[in-house]
Amino acid sequence: MRARSRTARARLPIVGTALLATAAMIATVAAACGDGAGAAPAITTTARAGVAPVPPKEGAYFGAWVPPDGKKGDGKDGDGDAASPSASPSGKPGMEPVTRFERELGRRLDIVQSYRGWKADFPAALEKSTADGDRYLLLTWAGADTRKIVQGEYDELIRRRARAVKQLGQPIFLRWSRDMDASSAKKRVHSPKDFVAAWKHLRTVFEREQVQNVAWVWCPTARGFGGADAGAYYPGDDHVDWICADAHPGADVDYRDLSESLKPFLQWARERPKPIMIAEFGVPASYGERRAEWLREASKTLQDPQVKAVVYFDSDERAKNARDKRRAFAVTGDKHALSALRELATTPYFNPRNLPVTSGG
């Protein structure tokens, strides 16, 4: 039984205590169905409502990473700037690729993602333009050597960034050092213990600067819960606002449903009273005619009562070359995949703010 059905059922008028009890029992059973993840916990967050982003009461925010025109790279744990300004007819720097993607979807995004290197200045054009409108900013900030962070070597840099985020004056999601569990991050992360210490140090510096408009998003790989121990990097419920996973299918398989990629993570998350964000998901171009099928099944998987935000990775930038279709996720130019993503994005469950919807295109 799907989460969307549960939402619809909850809106029906309740007449009498017997019907109320029946509805509650159905909802409990429904929550336990699906991928064996169990019932969703009561959600808590350290973020202040109205100041920092908090989960919608029903459904999940929908967002996307849309790369700037002519820009390659996704801010992979370096010092680069992955969100340079681009011309915009609306007059807002950096927003033209975003608004063009929104026209194709037939709705505005709830969340716009940007990527920044560890030493890059932010907020810059895209972040300021996003915050100036009615969309949430998901700022993905690359990591650095965790031991140097704890030793205070980067404190002045962190203070500058904290003050800049505070001055922005709008609620933002901050996703620091994503995929910290990946083997490629081992050299700078060192160990789960080092990562947790660095995370807490970063938050302490932000708190000393009285930054309250940030929701902290902890985000390892979904794959890290299926055999590895991504959970060892978790700083604890008191230090995290949203728990998250990046859930690309992987280039080592011909086809994998999103439900299969997410199952171990969702099972782990059921033990934490936190809202879930899927900050990167995408369907590979290599799936061909099955891309639309994949997205429609993904829509069902993501209509989970604990999942409160989903962000599509609409980019081919991770492909090694033009022939690498397993790492190419943009749907532009694929009318069937784009139509399926439009269906997902305009489903009421993924439009909790009831934004206007058009036919798209």
Predicted local confidence at residue 18, as pLDDT: 36
User: What is the average pLDDT across 119-129?
Assistant: 94
Give residue limits of the domains in the chain. 1-33, 36-350
- pTM of the full predicted structure? 0.86
Residue among 280, 273, 293 at smallest CA distance from 334? 293
Pick the CATH number of 36-350 from 1.10.600.10, 3.20.20.80, 3.40.718.10, 3.30.565.10: 3.20.20.80
Q: Is the pLDDT of residue 84 over 80?
A: no
How far are the Cα atoms of 109, 272, 292 from residue 243, in angstroms, in the given order?
21, 9, 27
Task: Find where tokens 């995408």 sit.
Answer: 282
Higher pLDDT, 320 or 84: 320
Q: Is the pLDDT of residue 95 over 90?
A: yes
Which tens digit of pLDDT belongs to each residue from 155-195?
A: 999 999 999 999 999 999 999 999 999 999 999 999 999 99
Q: Is the pLDDT of residue 36 over 50?
A: no
Which tens digit of pLDDT belongs to each residue from 256-311?
A: 999 999 999 999 999 999 999 999 999 999 999 999 999 999 999 999 999 999 99
Predicted local confidence at residue 49, as pLDDT: 84
Residue among 75, 94, 97, 72 at smallest CA distance from 84? 94
Q: Give the rounded distance of the alpha carbon of 136 from its chain centre.
A: 11
Q: Is the pLDDT of residue 21 over 50?
A: no
User: What is the average pLDDT across 221-248?
Assistant: 95
Q: Is the pLDDT of residue 81 over 60?
A: no
- Token pair listed for 282: 């995408």
Q: Mean pLDDT across the chain, nearest whole number?
A: 86
CA distance 113 to 279: 9
Sign of CA dihedral 30, 229, 175, 53: positive
One-letter identity of residue 223: R
Secondary structure (3-state) at 260: helix
Report percent pLDDT > 90 for the chain.
74
| Number of H-type helices and E-type strands within the chain | 11, 8
Which tens digit of pLDDT belongs to each residue from 300-359?
A: 999 999 999 999 999 999 999 999 999 999 999 999 999 999 999 999 999 999 999 998
Q: Which runs of E-coded beta strand occur in the chain?
A: 61-65, 111-116, 136-141, 172-176, 214-218, 242-246, 276-281, 307-313
Predicted local confidence at residue 70, as pLDDT: 64
Label residue 79 by pLDDT band (50, 70, 90).
very low
Residue among 130, 201, 117, 131 at smallest CA distance from 166? 131
Whether 64 contacts 311, CB under 8 Å: yes
